[in-house]
Amino acid sequence: MRLFPVWTVFRGNNSMLLSDAKALSSSAGLRRDPKLIELSQSQLEWVVGKNPFSQSLMYGEGYDYAPQYTAMSGDIAGSLPVGIQTSVNKDVPYWPFNNCYNYKEVWVQPSARWLWLMPDLCGPARVSGKVPADSTGILEFINKITEKVSAVELEKVRDEFYVELPEGQYCVKFNGHTKNITLLPGEDYFLDLYQFYNIQVENRELKDKELYLKLSVQTNCDLQLEVRSQNINFPNSRLDISPTDGKTIILEQNGYIVSEEAPWVLVLIPNGNHSELIEVYGL
């Protein structure tokens, strides 16, 4: 596949690049994957200067932005042109200094796609939850990359808590229990302190066509793990787990790959909560 569009038909790639970034950000929401969010953000960074020409393509934003081609309206702050093109049929970036149609021509499409991306990539995650009446101590959110701790003193809140956090992966600590959660930018995330559980994949091993999966589970409630899979057969479609009384238990499950020629994927959904799904996949 070409990295850049065919020169004789469409001389810039902003619309396609930002459309692909939107597909990535939508996939990130479905798969709870911060790495896909980072990749989407990289596409925006390309547009505003992280490109081979170190030039922002958005007028009025960043450094070294250039005048854009508009027949009547003049330069518009925030506008985007058609985008970086190629030199005839060479599949490499080409960005002439000429202010000429149509690579530097202002179009509606790139700006519309930029705005389309903003709800997926901008703003903190908003985390809320109900607080049990007898709760004391501190609810901690520990960012796994920066190790920054955000704390909520439960004695100072009545029935509910609310906190805004940057996107990322967090370890949550509450009453001696821990829980791993993934927060995406701009989302509303409900953290249920009445049903506080933590599930981790400790080990996965593939031998021939058999997958050996080892899970560690800690829960203060009855837990149902719904098992969904593609190209892999598991003996159980649901796992029922009783409260572990603060202890961590180990679950081992075996699955069988149907076809070695295709990827396989396994998704575990705790108590019907898709925002905390666990995904295991391979080839």
125-190, CATH topology level: Immunoglobulin-like (2.60.40)
Q: Average pLDDT, whole number, for the chain?
A: 90
| Tokens at 169, concatenated | 């992966």
47 pLDDT tier (thresholds 50, 70, 90) = very high
Q: What is the mean pLDDT of residues 76-91?
A: 89
The reported pTM is 0.84
Residue 194 has pLDDT above 90, yes or no: no
Spatial distance between the Cα atoms of 139 and 120, rounded to a whole number of angstroms: 27
pLDDT, one tens digit per residue, over 159-181 is: 889 999 999 999 999 888 889 99
pLDDT > 70? residue 7: no
> Quick one: how far is CA 146 from the chain centroid?
18
Strand partners, 165: 125
CATH of 197-282, one of 3.40.710.10, 2.30.30.180, 2.60.40.10, 2.60.410.10: 2.60.40.10
Q: Is the pLDDT of residue 193 over 70?
A: yes
| pLDDT of 112 | 95
Q: Give the start-to-end residue ranges of the domains of the chain.
A: 14-121, 125-190, 197-282
Q: Where are the beta strands (DSSP E) in the chain?
A: 125-130, 138-143, 149-153, 160-165, 168-174, 177-183, 188-190, 197-207, 210-219, 223-230, 232-233, 238-241, 249-257, 264-270, 278-282
Same CATH topology for 125-190 and 197-282? yes
**Mean pLDDT on 127-154:** 90
List pLDDT tens digits, range 136-149.
789 999 999 999 99
pLDDT, tens digit (0-9, with 9 covering 90-100), for 248-265: 999 998 999 999 999 999
